[in-house]
Amino acid sequence: MERIKIELPEPNKFIFTTTIMPRISDINYGNHLGHDHLVSLLHEVRLRFLTKHGFSEKDTGGCGIILADLAVIYKAEVCYGETLTVDLALLDPSRVGCTFMYWVKRKGDEKEVARATTGIVFFNYTTRKVCGLPEVFRRLF
């Protein structure tokens, strides 16, 4: 079976780091972080990044964002009580979107837990149409 590949960018491309601790409700029957709950944690990381820069998901300088795609590679288990460090990079700016790259590691031993990308398209929720990458957001690259 062919597997997806997510290549990490150069370390200086990661422009935001945060820590996050999975809740007990994020732990599944295998006694580790559920795959779907990791995606929710990545959503939280993205929101923290946007908030740090004065943005929200509905306003990134005049446009909101909408998810176009998602890819995740799981590398290791995460158990309850462990804290994660997530590094975020912005990549591939285009006319109407970009890629958010997430590098997830277990805090302490720095074991890689996951790599993920989300493709973002800038979207006007009032007109329900795609809009151009806002200049104020482009400056973050």
Q: pLDDT of 7-46, one tens digit each?
A: 999 999 999 999 999 999 999 999 999 999 999 999 999 9
Helical H runs in 2-116?
A: 35-52
Give yes or no for a contact between 43 and 51, defined as CB atoms under 8 angstroms apart: no
pLDDT in tens, 41-96: 999 999 999 999 999 999 999 999 999 999 999 999 999 999 999 999 999 999 99
Give yes or no for a contact between 33 and 27, defined as CB atoms under 8 angstroms apart: yes
User: Looking at residue 132, what is its pLDDT?
Assistant: 96
User: Looking at residue 1, what is its pLDDT?
Assistant: 83
In the predicted model, is pLDDT for residue 2 greater than 90? no
User: Looking at residue 138, what is its pLDDT?
Assistant: 93
Q: What is the mean pLDDT of the chain?
A: 96
pLDDT in tens, 108-131: 999 999 999 999 999 999 999 999
**What are the strands, taking DSSP E only, across the chain?**
14-20, 64-74, 84-91, 97-106, 112-124, 129-130
Dist CA 128 CA 121 (whole Å): 12
